[in-house]
Amino acid sequence: MFKIQNTILSDDIATAKFACDLPRCHGACCVVGDAGAPVAAGEIAVLKKAYRQLKEKLRARAREVVEKEGLIWGNNQQGYELACTDERECVFVTYDDDGIARCAIQKAFMEGEFNWEKPLSCHLFPIRLKRIAGMDYANFEYVPKLCSAACDKGDREGIYLSDFLEKPLSRRYGSEWYEEFARRCREIRTQKREAATI
């Protein structure tokens, strides 16, 4: 574990290689799991706005679930999550012509139709954050079914998880935090290589 300001991070965040490979995984992180994407209370209003704006572009089953069960599940004590259809896809999932799951919010953002990219937990995945006593605890949530393709691509192309997630980490903590984090990650990787040669 290592600490950057008020965040404690697992060492594998510095050492793992990772780069999304959508043609192989087909957007599995938006489909596979035992719960919907974690949502911060402060994100609920913008998610409701996104749903109103993008509703007609979503799957019929997604609209049915939201109308019957709501867009956001949970409460302030247990936490909030995005609704899912039939314990599978996030309600914001759409499929492209190749059968790849895509986030409707992110697609709208990339096309200039919405001014917010997606929930932070989705942007940060496979890093998961837990807030305890005023500190963030960050872990690399490796799930073979979701992450193996991305780890293979990262290894082939020499892309570290810490670099791949620069944008969402900077979104969460700011650019100065990220620069300090990136330096520490490089130090950890150097120490690991040196230890391996002893």
Task: Please give the chain's pLDDT, 198 residues, in tens.
Answer: 999 999 999 999 999 999 999 999 999 999 987 778 999 999 999 999 999 999 999 999 999 999 999 999 999 888 999 999 998 899 999 999 999 999 999 999 999 999 999 999 999 999 999 999 989 999 999 888 788 999 999 999 999 999 999 999 999 999 999 999 999 999 999 999 888 887
Q: Kindly state whether residues 139 and 70 are assigned to the same domain.
A: no
Q: Are 72 and 86 in contact (CB under 8 A)?
A: no
In eight-state DSSP terms, residue 160 is B
End residue of a domain, out of 72, 101, 122: 122
- Which residues have CB under 8 Å from 159's CB, separation 6+? 17, 18, 19, 153
* Dist CA 61 CA 64 (whole Å): 5
Angle at 107 between CA 93 and CA 70, to 5 degrees: 40
Q: What is the domain range of residue 186?
A: 1-18+126-198
Q: Kindly state whether residues 83 and 157 are assigned to the same domain.
A: no
Of 133, 171, 124, 118, residue with least CA distance to 7: 133
Q: Kindly state whether residues 42 and 110 are assigned to the same domain.
A: yes
Q: Kindly state whether residues 108 and 151 are assigned to the same domain.
A: no
Give the number of other CB atoms < 10 A from CB of residue 100: 16
- What's the CA dihedral at 121, 125, 130, 131 to 10 degrees? -50
Q: Kindly state whether residues 181 and 134 are assigned to the same domain.
A: yes
Q: Kindly state whether residues 105 and 43 are assigned to the same domain.
A: yes
pLDDT of residue 8: 97
End residue of a domain, out of 94, 122, 150: 122
Q: Total structural domains in the chain?
A: 2
What mean pLDDT, rounded, does the chain reach?
94
Q: Is the pTM of this model over 0.85?
A: yes
* Dist CA 198 CA 183 (whole Å): 23
Q: Kindly state whether residues 116 and 138 are assigned to the same domain.
A: no
Q: Kindly state whether residues 10 and 82 are assigned to the same domain.
A: no
Q: Kindly state whether residues 137 and 118 are assigned to the same domain.
A: no
Q: Are 39 and 82 in contact (CB under 8 A)?
A: yes
User: 3-state SS of the chain: helix, strand, coil percent to 5?
Assistant: 50, 20, 30
Q: Kindly state whether residues 79 and 144 are assigned to the same domain.
A: no
Q: Kindly state whether residues 48 and 113 are assigned to the same domain.
A: yes
- Which residues have CB under 8 Å from 111's CB, separation 6+? none
Q: Kindly state whether residues 77 and 130 are assigned to the same domain.
A: no
Query: Per-residue pLDDT tens for 81-139?
Result: 999 999 889 999 999 999 999 999 999 999 999 999 999 999 999 999 999 998 999 99
